[in-house]
Structure 1
């Protein structure tokens, strides 16, 4: 692999411009969960992807300043719940905007808390954690998953707003 070309110390765009540009990439919305000392912990995220089919690996990106960051390292395991379209209040709750109308509903999957009613729920064992700028990429090996075949579609996030899937064909 060739060595990376030297980059200017300051990019020719602001952090806000970069964030807005990345916001043009529509993503699903997930809640990352773990358990520390018998207590469930959760956060909303959209930086989630599959990493490998064999072995089954997933990747979540968590800010180094997030409370969840240290909890994931400490627990060594995590859950991911891919939210369904009707779960906007769930996303808001774990993004720090709780509503009096929503109380978290967890269920256990492989002894890991996951969100009840999510389109997909999975439990993973932490395999690696790689520093990536101001975030860490946590790679987990999926131990169990549950797919809701009756889901009405995923909750999406695009350009700083929630969205729903509109089928084109």
Structure 2
């Protein structure tokens, strides 16, 4: 499923939270297993996000890898596996707080963002001050 609510809760111990609608099929699966995984998609992966948001794309194949025995999206910016620590009923959603058991990340990718019904990406708008040159160098040891 594609969720629009995921956050870091604590660094020590490492805790994350997800919010799942009471009518979502994923809710019962998480409650039964006591575990969940999160895949933070990289910029340009909007087709995958729409696919798991209920708009299936038959052209997508081989989407999954495994992390700690749970399915995660191949090529994601970051993936987490977590064990449910707390379950909190909040309106028409359940918030699961999970203790992170494994994670992977790609520090070279940018995240896929969603705002006002559209996907987007971060843009680096910082510029070097006038008169400064940006020079790439290679360190040699």
- TM-score by length of structure 2 reads 0.86
Structure 2 partner of 1:72: 30
Q: Could you tell me how far apart the structure 1 residues matched to 2:49 and 2:77 are?
A: 13
For residues 79-103 of structure 1, what are the alpha-carbon distances to aligned partners after superposition, in whole Å with 9 as ceiling and x for unaligned?
A: 0000001211110110011112212
**How much has 1:117 moved relative to structure 2?**
0.2
Structure 2 partner of 1:105: 63
Q: Could you tell me how far apart the structure 2 residues matched to 1:104 and 1:90 are?
A: 11
1:162 and 2:119 matched = yes
Q: Tell me, which stretches of 5 or more residues in structure 1 are unaligned?
A: 1-42
Aligned residues: 126
Q: Could you tell me how far apart the structure 1 residues matched to 2:68 and 2:58 are?
A: 30
Q: Could you tell me how far apart the structure 1 residues matched to 2:121 and 2:52 are?
A: 19
Secondary structure of the 2:100 match is strand
**How much has 1:105 moved relative to structure 2?**
1.4
Larger Rg: 2
**Contact kept? 1:109, 1:123, Cα under 8 Å:** yes
Q: Could you tell me how far apart the structure 2 residues matched to 1:97 and 1:144 are?
A: 29
**Contact kept? 1:78, 1:124, Cα under 8 Å:** yes
Runs of 4+ more than 2 Å apart: none
Q: CA RMSD in A?
A: 1.0
Secondary structure of the 1:45 match is coil
Q: Tell me, which stretches of 5 or more residues in structure 2 are unaligned?
A: 127-141
Structure 1 partner of 2:39: 81
Structure 2 partner of 1:47: 5
- TM-score by length of structure 1 reads 0.72
